[in-house]
Amino acid sequence: MLKQIVFLLLFFVPILHAAEVDHLYQAEVSVADQGQKERNRAIAEGFRLMLVKVTGNRNIGQNQSLAETFRKASRFVQQYRYRVEVAESDTAVEQRYLRITFDKQAVDRTLRANGLPVWGKSRPQVIVWAGFDDGSRRKLLMPEFDQRMMTIFNRAADTRGIPLLFPVMDLQDQSAISASDLWGAFEQPVKNASQRYQADAILMVRIKSGSSGLLRSSWSFLDSNDTRQWEFRGKTRGQLIKQGMNTVSDHLASIYAPAAGADAQVVNMQVSGLDSFEDFLKVEFFLKGQETVQQYQLRQSQIDQVIFALSLRGGMQAFVQAVELSGLFAQSDVMFPVLSPEPAKEPEPLPVVNTPEQPMPENAAQAETGVDAMEQTAEMMVPEIAKDPLTDIHLFYRLR
């Protein structure tokens, strides 16, 4: 009886260009002094801030399963240093900050042991089109004149690990979009103007002064699949931007972050269009860098195609989103049958590969003997993973 195969054929997914977010495992907290008591307080707060970025959950500090972990936050510290910033004022007030770097492996291990997600550093890049209405006129955010507002946006996004991009607002941008387009929430002109930046999502923000003294803001979030809208009220622009960026970040985490507590899932990933062993290594290097990939093994290779058996943590959706964000793969309907190993032969299975981060070889084509090295694995099976019934699930891709 033929087993049912699940095909995921999403032919109209656009090419995305994810950004890699650095410093996810770092946090900076203001301190009153450099004493031990104040340092311990800052480490505990920094640990919470770091976990918000890594898990995508801004309420992670209320998770009861981590109560003991928070009390022992100092055990996760890899290094720390102080920084002094002098405020631009007549009094020249100094403000101290403690920057803490936490141990990534220890943090990830603890989160997974508690069934919590680890959102990797490859994340969707969001382009921001912002405008302000002070009651007398409406204007677009201009990088040349609105550095302070850009800093507020970036700081709010940094606390959640979301990479932002701002238009340069040169003549091309100014001729493509107007303040009326933004305030009217006309999507098409904004989408057209955003094409040159190749961002993964578009954020339209309008902030207006209100008659009651409160400011009002309207937010529109656009990606390839959906449009979301939110409205907020607040006393300051900074307050509104923080509220809005938290909501946008929550939405992105619900799509791209691995699901909390999800059991490991096993799928087959078929990739065609490999012209060289260097292409094979590109696929392997991608798999090694994915937080959602717990283990992978080469199941089969044929000429220009390979099948990997993957053990995924946090559900399949997060992995599929990561594939789309990478820009390396296109959906494909080309498939070839999975061969069973010959009973008379007992080929040595490839070792299970866990996925620590590793640098790409400088000359991948010389890392092995070339295409021959890939062909030698053509009938090598991976019994530990392939026995799982969920390997009836196949993902079909073509290397771009």
Beta strands in 214-334 (DSSP E): 215-222, 227-234, 265-272, 293-302, 305-312, 329-331
Calculate what percentage of the chain has a pLDDT beyond 70.
79
Complete edge-to-edge strand list for the sheet that includes strand 77-86: 26-31, 94-102, 77-86
Average pLDDT of the segment spanning 221-240: 92
Assess whether pLDDT exceeds 60 at residue 1: no
Assess whether pLDDT exceeds 70 at residue 359: no
Mean per-residue pLDDT over the chain, rounded: 82
Q: pLDDT tens across 163-196, in order?
A: 999 999 999 999 999 999 999 999 999 999 999 9
Assess whether pLDDT exceeds 60 at residue 262: yes
Assess whether pLDDT exceeds 60 at residue 297: yes
The predicted structure's pLDDT at residue 17: 56
The CA-CA-CA angle for residues 122, 128, 134, to 5°, reads 155
Assess whether pLDDT exceeds 50 at residue 294: yes
The predicted structure's pLDDT at residue 370: 46
Cβ–Cβ under 8 Å, residues 30 and 97: yes
**Domains along the sequence of the chain with CATH:** 25-113 (no CATH), 122-256 (3.30.160.100), 260-399 (no CATH)
- Of 56-70, 105-119, 264-278, which gets the smallest average pLDDT? 264-278
The predicted structure's pLDDT at residue 51: 97
The predicted structure's pLDDT at residue 91: 64
Assess whether pLDDT exceeds 50 at residue 254: yes
Assess whether pLDDT exceeds 80 at residue 279: yes
Average pLDDT of the segment spanning 34-61: 96
- Pairwise pLDDT comparison (147 vs 301), residue with the higher score: 147
Instruction: Band the pLDDT of 325: cuts 50, 70, 90.
Output: confident
Instruction: Band the pLDDT of 386: cuts 50, 70, 90.
Output: very low
The predicted structure's pLDDT at residue 392: 65
The predicted structure's pLDDT at residue 47: 98
Q: Give me the helix-helix angle, 237-256 and 147-158, nearest 10°.
A: 40
Average pLDDT of the segment spanning 73-88: 91
Assess whether pLDDT exceeds 60 at residue 108: yes
- Computed over its alpha carbons, how large is the radius of gyration of the chain? 24
Cβ–Cβ under 8 Å, residues 294 and 311: yes
